[in-house]
Amino acid sequence: MTSPAQSDAAPNDEVRLERLTSAEIGRAIASGVRTAVLPLAAVEQHGCHLPLSMDADHADALAIRIASGLGDALALPTVRVGYSPHHLGFPGTLSIRAETLESICLDYGTHLYEQGFRNLVIFSGHIGNYPVLQRAQERLEAALKPLTVVVFTDGSAILNAWRRAAEDTASLGDRVGGHADLAETSVMLALHPERVRRAAYLRGYTGTVDDEFLSKVFDEGMRSQSPTGILGDPNGASALIGEACLAAVTDLIVAHAQSRVCESDGDRLRSPRTPSSQESGGRYE
């Protein structure tokens, strides 16, 4: 047996950078890990039935799945607080400025290349960070060279993936609205069911959520468009739908990252591991 006792080491499939030792990360890089995944999130109101950690818990879970899906990647610690000025009308919401969020992405990425990483994949579990990422994308790509920076910026693709997953799983696609809705509530039921106040579900705004509507939310605040703070309807949420939503968004971001990294440098994403790491079955041993 080459595997150390469980109490002495991270599990072989651990992809969270902060759960590994520095030596384990060094071995991971030596055996072919080239990509860091940076999850962004928010600490903001999510209706009466979900805690403020919804997007951060979601981003934590997506990052693990995305890093595992990419196969040569580690997940950086989630940036838990995000750009949420449109939710400040509700108690407890925290918000950092767009330039602060961009600076955090820049600072997280600055030393990755010299440590052996070649790619940085940035995504958000909070849809409200996407306009910030769209504006910051080119600056981050330029500033972090020669690191290849892949910024996933398509918030509407996530909404569409949730709608399809909810429709295919439970014929409830029309209850997806993007915030504290069927999709997010289902994701929390899949990840941390004890955090969901099931007796407090309320139907929120269920009209069209398009770019025009979302810019009103951003400009005038969530409360002006939905007094409950909910876009969509959590009724009918289930862990099964949550798993389907997690899988759909993981596939979306993994496919985007793979296509972008292949475009810029095809051989970087899938560097061969050393035979010994494959023989032992351990990723970082």
233 interacts with Zn ion by CB under 5 A: no
List strand residue ranges (DSSP E) for the chain, in order.
Answer: 35-40, 73-75, 119-124, 148-151, 176-179, 231-232
**Complex with Zn ion: residue 113 or 213, whichever CB lies closer:** 213
Q: Left (φ > 0), alpha (ψ -120 to 50) or beta: where does 273 sit?
A: beta
The residue assigned the tokens 């969509």 is: 232
d(CA 177, CA 10): 38
Which of 144, 231 has the CB closer to Zn ion?
Answer: 231
Omega before 131 within 30 of 0, i.e. cis: no
Query: In angstroms, what is the minimal distance from the CB of 141 to Zn ion?
Result: 26
Surface-to-core class of residue 68, CB atoms within 10 Å of its CB (0-12 exposed, 13-18 middle, 19+ buried): middle
Closest CA to 91 of 233, 225, 222: 222
Minimum CB separation from Zn ion for residue 75, in Å? Answer: 19
Give the number of residues in contact with Zn ion, rule: CB under 5 A.
2
Binder among 25, 27, 43, 55 for Zn ion (CB under 5 A): 55
Q: What are phi and psi of 94, to 5 degrees?
A: -110, 150
Query: Minimum distance from CB of 103 to Zn ion (Å)?
Result: 23
Q: Which stretch binds Zn ion (CB under 5 A): 49-57, 77-85, 244-252, 260-268?
A: 49-57
Q: Which residue is nearest to Zn ion (CB)?
A: 55
Q: Which stretch binds Zn ion (CB under 5 A): 54-62, 211-219, 259-267, 268-276?
A: 54-62
Complex with Zn ion: residue 54 or 133, whichever CB lies closer: 54
The 148-151 sheet, strands edge to edge: 73-75, 35-40, 119-124, 148-151
Stretch that binds Zn ion, among 5-13, 47-55, 89-97, 248-256 (CB under 5 A): 47-55
CB 192, min distance to Zn ion, A = 14
Nearer to Zn ion, 111 or 197 (CB): 197
Give the binding site for Zn ion (CB under 5 A): 54-55
